[in-house]
Structure 1
Amino acid sequence: MPWPPEEPPPSPWDFDLEDVEPGEDLVGVGGDLAPGTLLAAYRSGVFPMGLGEHGAKPMGWWSPDPRGVLLPGGVSVSRSLRRSCRHFEIRVDSAFEEVVERCASPHREGRWITPEISSAYATLHRLGWAHSVETWHGGELVGGLYGVSIGGLFAGESMFHAVTDASKVALVALAGLVFADRSPHRIIDVQWATPHLSTLGIEEMPRGEYLQRLGRALKEPQLELGRRQEP
């Protein structure tokens, strides 16, 4: 994996949110999933998800208001989850494409990850921008998450678990990696807060506040998630 990540050609698309109404989550339709377009979107506080059945085209571009985020010092680990953490091995980027495949399983309710999405993020992974944090048990991949890392931002895309607490443990591990240097400006974006995520300390903030925090996060040194796997 390249270090630092390779900057792809710039996108022809504009992700200006100035005229988007408060509370409006869908901010655009169309465009492409080229690496430069995806990076431009994340740097603007936007991410893709198809509007058709199970994430099919047309492509939608989203910037939730309010936004679900995890901030430094905000992760909440219950006593039972802390016990669970001891039973898993954590790996980074050892099975990125398998994590995406498991997140895209056709058996999952509300699935939205299409082959086109999977391919686009595999390209970002090869360029050094997309990463997976995985939970393993007995040599088996049993949970994990993937997302995009730019500066001090980790934008989570999806997570899965095959055994109890495996995805929660992956998120706790991610927080440990992202916030290791104790910078107050790093941020984990989870898009929408859910009851499941809220138990881990995820909070909601207005889009305007998120964009301000995003601007500060992007000025932080690049997280070295993938580099941790190099010999």
Structure 2
Amino acid sequence: MSEGKILIVEDEPSLSAILRDYLQAAGYTCQQVFDGSLAVTQFKALAPDLVLLDLTLPGKDGIEICRDLRAFSDAPIIMVTARVEEVDRLLGLETGADDYVCKPYSPREVVARVKAVLRRHHRTPGDAVAAGLSLDDAAGRASLFGQDLGLTQVEFRLLRTLAAEPGRIYSRDQLMDHLYLDRRVVTDRAVDSHIKNLRRKMGESGDAWIHSVYGAGYRFES
């Protein structure tokens, strides 16, 4: 049974083939595009559930394609690129990308990201992500046993990111990519402050669910 349709926009045939093979093994149907100028046309023809989009492409680059797609679709987009500069990461996410994977990468990691983004995208408002904890994406609110936690939007994005992939360790830099989409200049230690506030608002559940991983970052365990 197919898990969904994935459009792979990648100009390196060998990398595209590897991604296709791993995704097909995971149950997805894949369509490959090697030229950026054809991406939007193929998207409209396939109507995929998610797009894996390389940033540097012939014909039209990934940023422009992402903007074009966001003009008429909210299908999840994961940027795949070798350009790791901070400006590029922020620009990719500001343009409407849902996640960002840097080369070199593990194909298994990409498959895991695809599954997580699709899982996040298909949630309905008020979905429960752990015992008693519900997140309302439309309203940007989190509630614990029916009580609104009163989170700021940054705290809500932080909790949503962590809770979307229980057990995954996020570095501070990775969390910052999800929290700050307006190019503000902050230190990575700002994440620690937001974690502290989030745990405080969640009470005992915050300490039980949000774990610090020494030298690595944070993870959510429900």
* TM-score when normalising by structure 1: 0.30
* Rg comparison, structure with higher value: 2
* TM-score when normalising by structure 2: 0.30
Higher relative contact order (CA 8 A, sep 6+): 1
